[in-house]
Chain A
Amino acid sequence: MGNPSGRQVRSRNLSVTDVTSAARPSIRFRGHSLIALVVVPEEPVSDWLAHLDGLAQRSPGFFASRPVILDVSHLPHDRDSLRALVADLFTRGIRVMGLEGADAAVLGPDLPPVLTGGSPTGQLEIPTGKLKTQPNGGPERPRPASLLIEDPVRSGQSICFPDGDVTVVGSVSSGAEIIAGGSIHVYGTLRGRAVAGSGGDTKARIYCRKLEAELLMIDGSFRTDDEVQPELRGRPVQAWLQDGAIALASLD
């Protein structure tokens, strides 16, 4: 069997507004880019499947929760053989999300859709079944999911922490920005920009003791200072995402 190779799948951000009923909120589309595993079966398929079983035995869970694309461009196929192959893979815990190089005549609603426009990202490392170890021999520790900043964040400074929450004990100045993969907690005055859920976390929130922020953003939705209710300005406030828009409430 050929090595499975990675492939990047991209789509564009779209936002469609129904012009005939302007009162309705626009439907939000989000772009998403992820690395999919492309498997390339070879003739004879039964041998290839046996080889695959060997791999699955050495590293159980290798395919678990990975998006898988089946590249059949080098495999003679018809509708029945393709359906059988997808079913064979399914019994091994591999769910095919798309096909590449499939003959358009054999496609049907019972087969995964054909994907185009992917770009290769190179060969993926096949696990050998051993646990990854750090140079000192200990098991790999998970990275911390929060960042603590004890000094004021000054104008012009940018704190970017895509791995989780950011907590600032001081204030965040006008002209400074905090970008967090998770939530943002500011125990002083938030005057700069706060961007939470930068990696697409819709559950991320922004908390601050005094709201004077230039911009609040969660997962791409934002609210500028002008759009903040005057009665909430200067107060302890939390911000979260509700129906795709930023909601604000006093914490008092």
Chain B
Amino acid sequence: MAKVLVVTSGKGGVGKTTSTAALGAALAQSGQSVVVIDFDVGLRNLDLVLGAERRVVYDLINVVQGEAKLSQALIRDKRVETLSLLAASQTRDKDALTEEGVGRIIAELREKFDWVICDSPAGIERGAALAMRFADVAVVVTNPEVSSVRDSDRIIGLLDSKTLRAENGERMEKHLLITRFDPAREMRGEMLKTEDVLEILSIPLLGVIPESEEVLRASNVGSPVTLNAPTSAPGRAYMDAAKRLKGEVVAMTVPTERRAGLFSKIFRRAA
């Protein structure tokens, strides 16, 4: 049974697209068939992060409006063949998305893939609303700082009221992914503590992704960090998060970079 997963946050710049690419690639590497959809119509980025920007012919809007078939618009990844991308349109805006069209595409993709991962745009408007509309599972991406946490809280409220699942009275499965986590700054009290974020948002923790240059490097070479640097700290953290999404039990650790002359700190937490 296919699972439709939305990666969302409310706030911009917290790492939705990076996380979508990393989790999608990690799931695909484990043999699952995965499609990632960019819902950020007008400000598309997922194609860049996956290194497929020069291969986009048809996009989500073309399929929504019936100008192209889904099979024409899906772009298969060259490194992991079980990973596909449905890009957003850069020349249109989010008003071009219709609920009927998005619903039809998601239903069609459910037939073909194990995972349909929707990369939500920032905000709570049409693009974000339609990205979450048909989801079964949500990954809420949050940075450990107050504005990101409050926006995530707002998004969780919307996940519990505006999705098809919520309207049918079913429970929406929600997971928290903390990104750009810096253990040293948390120790100095410059960042919200993970416990505090969990207490405020009160949804289960999927993973903690440490702040790392590897993430930026991977984005710039157009390769998800789980493919580009799978043994790096963020690479391992995303791999563990993908395993938890599949239902595996993995001890919750926050991997850190190992550097000569520095003690690496490994924080263990109960999942």
Residue count of chain B within 8 Å CB distance of chain A: 11
B243 at the A interface (CB under 8 A): no
**Cβ contacts A to B, 16 pairs, < 8 Å:** A152-B202, A154-B153, A154-B154, A154-B156, A154-B157, A155-B151, A155-B154, A156-B158, A171-B200, A171-B202, A173-B200, A174-B150, A174-B153, A175-B150, A176-B157, A191-B200
Contact bitstring A12-29, B, C-beta under 8 A = 1, else 0: 000000000000000000
Q: How far is the CB of A181 from chain B (nearest CB, A)?
A: 23
Tell me if B211 counts as interface (CB < 8 A to partner A).
Answer: no
Cβ–Cβ contact B202 & A157, under 8 A: no
The residues in B between 148 and 204 inclusive whose CB is less than 8 angstroms from any CB of A are 150-151, 153-154, 156-158, 160, 199-200, 202
Interface residues of B in 122-153 (CB under 8 A from A): 150-151, 153
Q: What is the minimal beta-carbon distance from B29 to any residue of chain A, in angstroms? A: 35
Q: How many residues of A contact B (CB 8 A)?
A: 14
**Contact yes or no, B202 A155, CB < 8 A:** no
Pair B157/A156 contact, Cβ less than 8 Å: yes
Complex: A157 Cα to B200 Cα, angstroms: 15
Measured between alpha carbons, how far is A65 from B166 in the docked complex, in Å? 46
B contact face: mostly helix, strand, loop, or mixed: helix
CB within 8 Å for A157 and B157 given contacts A170-B202, A171-B202: yes
Is A151 part of the contact surface with B, judged by Cβ < 8 Å? Answer: yes
The residue in B153, B160, B199, B202 that gathers the most chain A C-beta atoms within 10 A of its C-beta is B153
B160 touches A173 (CB 8 A): no
Closest CB-CB distance, A176 to chain B, in whole Å? 8
Q: Which B residues are CB-close (under 8 A) to A176? A: 157
Q: What residues make up the interface of A, taking CB atoms closer than 8 Å to B?
A: 151-152, 154-157, 170-171, 173-176, 189, 191
Residue of B nearest to A152 (CB): B202
With a cutoff of 8 Å between Cβ atoms, the chain B residues found around residue A152 in the complex are 202
On whether A175 and B202 interact (CB within 8 A), knowing A151-B160, A154-B160, the answer reads no
Q: Chain B contacts of A155 at CB under 8 A?
A: 150-151, 153-154, 157
User: B153 — which chain A residues lie within 8 A by C-beta?
Assistant: 154-156, 173-175
Nearest CB of chain B from residue A152's CB, rounded to whole Å:
6
In the complex formed, the residue of B with least CB distance to A151 is B160
Point out the residues of chain A lying under 8 angstroms from B200, CB to CB. Answer: 171, 173, 191
Extra contacts besides A154-B160, A156-B154, A175-B150 (5): CB < 8 Å: A151-B160, A154-B156, A155-B154, A171-B202, A191-B200
Instruction: Please measure, in the bound complex, the distance between the C-alpha atom of A173 and the C-alpha atom of B203, giving whole angstroms.
Output: 14
CB nearest neighbor in A for B149:
A174
> What are the residues of chain B within 8 A of A189 when measuring CB–CB?
199
For residue A191, which residues in chain B have a CB less than 8 angstroms away from its CB?
Answer: 200
Report chain A residues within 8 Å CB of B156: 154
With a cutoff of 8 Å between Cβ atoms, the chain A residues found around residue B157 in the complex are: 154-157, 176
CA distance A173 to B156 in the complex (A): 11
